[in-house]
Amino acid sequence: MARNEQGELTSIWTPANVITSVRICFIPVFMLLAVLSRDAMGALTHPAFAIGACVLYILLSLTDKLDGSLARKRNEITDFGKFLDPIADKLLVFSALLLLLDQGYVNVWVVFIILLREFLVSALRMVASAAGEVIAADSLGKAKTAVTMVSLCGFYVAFALEALGMGDLTVWILGISQALMVAAVVLTVVSGIQYIWNARDIVFRV
């Protein structure tokens, strides 16, 4: 139990933090399935692994907001959760991006731009926190996250369909996923600029 008889939190292992921790633990499993599904040349060799990677990644993506909403609903927001949840989110995105980069489905600049934006926003939030201010996620940032996750899920759905022999549908979904990734990069740049602009009084304070 995370609470005592008085209703006070006595443990960091709230249901929300357990979900976050489980999500992190299963990310390497997803990566292993995705890697084992193809040979060194990128050809699909183990369809069951491709389908497993797809199902697991979608499940992990669906829990992306579950832990945060659960913590707020149960009034069990902890510093441990604030620390762990962003790590889980970024690991989930970059694990898939790095695999797609290795397989040639995304450009290295896509990964660089998204990674740069995450570093910048994290640095801005640290500076703001030190100044006693909070930079909350805005609508553009949330849209960027949503489009990125849908795009990544789309790639792995396409790979699963490829494993099931549905080639025509695979090409169609890959095209949509790549278009969404372009949109995600645009939103990444725009939202990053907006974060910097909104924090200009903190960052450029003398």
Q: What average pLDDT does the segment 159-178 reach?
A: 91
Give residue-wise pLDDT tens across range 151-167: 999 999 999 999 988 87
Residue 98 to residue 111: CA distance in whole angstroms: 8
Predicted pLDDT at 77: 76
Show the tokens assigned to 191.
């939202």
Lowest mean pLDDT among 65-69, 95-99, 103-107, 150-154: 65-69
Give residue-wise pLDDT tens across range 100-145: 999 889 999 999 999 999 888 888 877 777 766 666 667 888 899 8
Burial label for 9, CB within 10 Å (0-12, 13-18, 19+), is middle
Residue 135 to residue 128: CA distance in whole angstroms: 7
Predicted pLDDT at 81: 74
Residue 44 has phi, psi (to 5 degrees) of -70, 120
What own/partner pairs with CB < 8 Å and gap ≥ 24 does 25-29 have? 26/56, 26/60, 27/60, 27/88, 27/91, 27/92, 27/95, 28/95, 29/56
Predicted pLDDT at 154: 96
Residue 91 to residue 60: CA distance in whole angstroms: 11
Question: Which domains, from first to last, does the chain contain?
Answer: 13-202 (1.20.120)
Q: 11 Cβ partners below 8 Å, 6+ apart?
A: 1, 2
